[in-house]
């Protein structure tokens, strides 16, 4: 049987909902919304404890801002779990991944050419933002497939800079 699951920060719970009670692994959590501030920020009461959190929802992905940090929480209900299982059966595993600009800035230096081998943690490109140089590093071992950045150009946040093919183990 497929059950509803919620994933946060490497932990996973089975869930069920009944009105304002959320059961996590059969443990009840009582929730009450006390205030809504602007910009999707809320004061909430959970099991008698007060929290201030920012909450954004995007399909089954919930983003919570708590204690000056942001957490992505994935919710897999029975329906979407089935969908996911079906798609993973088709076996299309991603072999290439793109490296995106983590912030807007100016491209100062590009360290790699197309077809260059790159190791995890090696610097691909240097971006200047907020007066500092920031090295953008490769997330895994691989080969540079395409380069979408040019020295001297500005990039926006989440612009794709590189496409890297994952090296076979």
Partner 1 sequence: MIKRILVANRGEIAIRVIRAAKEMGIETLAIYHEVDKSSHHLNFATLTKQINGSTPKAAYLDINQIIEIAKSTDCDAIHPGYGFLSENADFSEACEKNGIIFIGPKAQSIRAMGSKTQARKIMFEAGVPIVPGTLEPINDQTSGKKIADEIGYPVLLKAASGGGGKGMRIVRNENEFTENFESAQREALNSFKDDSIYIEKLIENAKHIEIQLIADKHNNYVFLGERDCSVQRRHQKLIEECPSTVLDEELRQKMGMVALNAARAVDYTNAGTVEFLFDNNKNFYFLEMNTRLQVEHPVTEMVTGIDLVCEQISVAMGNTLSFKQSDIQLKGHSIECRINAEDPYNDFMPDIGRILYYQEPQGNGIRLDSGVNLNNEVTMYFDPMIAKLIVYAKDRKLAIKKMLMALDEFKIGGLKTNIPFHKAIMNNSEFISGKYNTNFLTSVFDYSELPELNFEEKQMLAALSVYFKENYKPHCNTTENNNNKFGNNWKQSNLHIRRLI
Residues at the contact surface with partner 1, assessed by CB under 8 A? 4, 6, 8-9, 11, 13, 15, 17, 19-20, 22, 24, 27, 29, 31-41, 44-47, 49, 51-55, 57, 60, 62, 64-71, 73, 75, 102-105, 108-109, 126, 128-134, 157
The residue behind tokens 């100016």 is: 106
Least distance CB 133 / partner 1 (angstroms): 6
Q: CB of 96 within 8 A of CB of 160?
A: no
Q: Which is nearer to partner 1, 7 or 117 (CB)?
A: 7
> Would you say 116 or 165 has its CB closer to partner 1?
116
Least distance in angstroms from the C-beta of 113 to partner 1:
17
Nearer to partner 1, 13 or 148 (CB): 13
Nearer to partner 1, 2 or 102 (CB): 102
Q: Count CB neighbours of 118 within 10 A.
A: 23
Q: How far apart are CA 96 and CA 42, in angstroms?
A: 39
C-beta of residue 148 within 8 angstroms of C-beta of residue 160: yes
The least CB distance from residue 1 to partner 1, in Å, is 19
164 vs 162: CA distance, rounded Å: 6
Report, in Å, the least distance between residue 11 CB and partner 1: 5
CB burial readout 144-155, b (16+ within 10 A) else e: beebebeeeeeb
């Amino acid at each position: 049987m497929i059950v509803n699951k919620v994933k946060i920060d490497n932990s996973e719970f089975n869930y069920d909902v009944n009105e304002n009670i959320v059961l996590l692994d059969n443990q009840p959590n009582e929730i009450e919304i006390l205030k809504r501030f602007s910009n999707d920020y809320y004061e909430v009461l959970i099991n008698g404890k007060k929290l201030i959190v920012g909450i954004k929802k995007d399909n089954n992905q919930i983003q919570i801002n708590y204690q000056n940090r942001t957490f992505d929480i994935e919710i897999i209900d029975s329906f979407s779990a089935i969908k996911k299982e079906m798609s993973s059966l088709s076996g299309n595993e991603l072999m290439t991944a793109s490296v995106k600009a983590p912030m807007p800035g100016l491209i100062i230096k590009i360290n790699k050419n197309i077809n260059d081998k790159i190791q995890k943690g090696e610097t691909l490109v240097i971006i200047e933002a907020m007066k500092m140089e920031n090295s953008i590093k490769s997330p895994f071992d691989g080969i540079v497939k395409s380069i979408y950045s040019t020295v001297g150009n500005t990039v926006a946040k989440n612009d794709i800079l590189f496409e890297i093919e994952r090296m076979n183990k």
